[in-house]
Amino acid sequence: MENTEEKSQETHPEVQEKQPEPQPQPEPKPEPKPEPVQEKKPEPKKIEVKQPKPKGPRFMSGAWYNKKYKILLIISIIILALAVTQLAIQYSTTGDYMKKDVSLTGGTVITVYTQEQFDIVELTATLESNLGQSIQIKRLQDISSGKQIGLSFESQINETLLEQELEDILSIEITEENSSIEVVSSNLSESFYQQLITAVLIAFLFMAIVVLLIFRKIVPFLAIMLAAVTDILGALALANIFGFSLSTAGIAALLMLIGYSIDTDVMLTTKVIKRREGHLNQRIKSAFKTGITMTLTSLIAVFVAYLFVTSPVLKQIFFILSAGLLIDLFSTWLGNASILKWYCEKKKIT
């Protein structure tokens, strides 16, 4: 039997018990690689970029100017008020707004060429006491050496009377060789004065018309006119204070001063009103840097000339120009600039 079973198993090999096939082992999952630790980069430090400080005058560009510009305007108005007050006092005491020499009032001018030194104050007091009239004495000096070459006597006294008094006090005989005499008619001098004043007024009027046509705005126009009036009245007041007697040359200097004073005001108004580059304060500051250079250059030039010239006529011209340019520093940059800033803020012009 056993043999039969073995045979049957041999003859039918398929009947043999099948061995279970090995199940495929699942492939092991690869272990996740650890993520590389990223090093934290230090955050870049914030570098504060400092804004460059504005060059030029700080009061024209900062908050201080925004708060105080109206006070600066008051200072300019006070200067104008002081000038008007001085001229009013001058008129109440002398009957005229300014001191005038014989070229505008008429009278006699006697120039005595002498190197003998006299006390001008004492000599003036003595002559006025003896003659009962005011008299002006000027010392004439040589330009190169600075030494005295003569004395000039101006008064409305009769020519003969003044000549005799000078001979007695100076103890010299006045002749054609050592003196010169000039007599100006009061009618002629009054005519000169009226014509010069008319010329100043006409020049001022035409200047005002041109400014009004250029800007076509009433407030900037009035600001420029106010600055020009302050310059002229301030120069006249200072001339009275320092004892200058205005001559025909002095009136001509006022004409020159109108042109000097209006330059910076027109430049300032053009930059602030017509140009819109930058902030309002920046435009004012830019105009200030240009204008102050112009004014100071002219002021230094004419003041140095005033110190060194010896001619009374030139001295008077240079003094009036110096005084007017000095006043212009206040009337333009404290007065006109403040009015323009106020106007621009009201009109929302930035």
1-31 pLDDT, tens digit per residue, is 445 444 444 544 444 455 555 555 555 555 5
Q: Which part of the chain has CATH 1.20.1640.10? A: 60-100+187-346
Please state which architecture CATH assigns to domain 107-184. 2-Layer Sandwich (3.30)
Q: Which two tokens stand for residue 342?
A: 């106020």
| Burial grade of 222 (CB within 10 A; 0-12, 13-18, 19 or more) | middle
Predicted pLDDT of residue 189: 81
pTM: 0.73
Fold annotation for 60-100+187-346: Multidrug efflux transporter AcrB transmembrane fold (1.20.1640)
User: CA-to-CA distance for 204 and 197, rounded, in angstroms?
Assistant: 11
- CA angle 109/253/216 to nearest 5° reads 150
Please list the ranges in the chain whose pLDDT falls under 70.
Answer: 1-62, 143
Predicted pLDDT of residue 266: 92
Q: Which part of the chain has CATH 3.30.70.260? A: 107-184
User: CA-to-CA distance for 317 and 308, rounded, in angstroms?
Assistant: 13
| Burial grade of 220 (CB within 10 A; 0-12, 13-18, 19 or more) | buried
Predicted pLDDT of residue 49: 47
Report CA-CA distances (Å) from 143 to 67, 146, 149, 309: 51, 6, 10, 7
Predicted pLDDT of residue 183: 85
Predicted pLDDT of residue 228: 92
83 C-beta neighbours (distance < 10 Å), count: 22
User: CA-to-CA distance for 42 and 281, rounded, in angstroms?
Assistant: 42
7 C-beta neighbours (distance < 10 Å), count: 10
Predicted pLDDT of residue 66: 80
Contact 101/123 with Cβ under 8 angstroms?
Answer: no
Average pLDDT, rounded, for the chain: 82
What's the pLDDT tens digit per position in 187-198?
878 888 888 888
70 C-beta neighbours (distance < 10 Å), count: 12
User: CA-to-CA distance for 62 and 284, rounded, in angstroms?
Assistant: 12
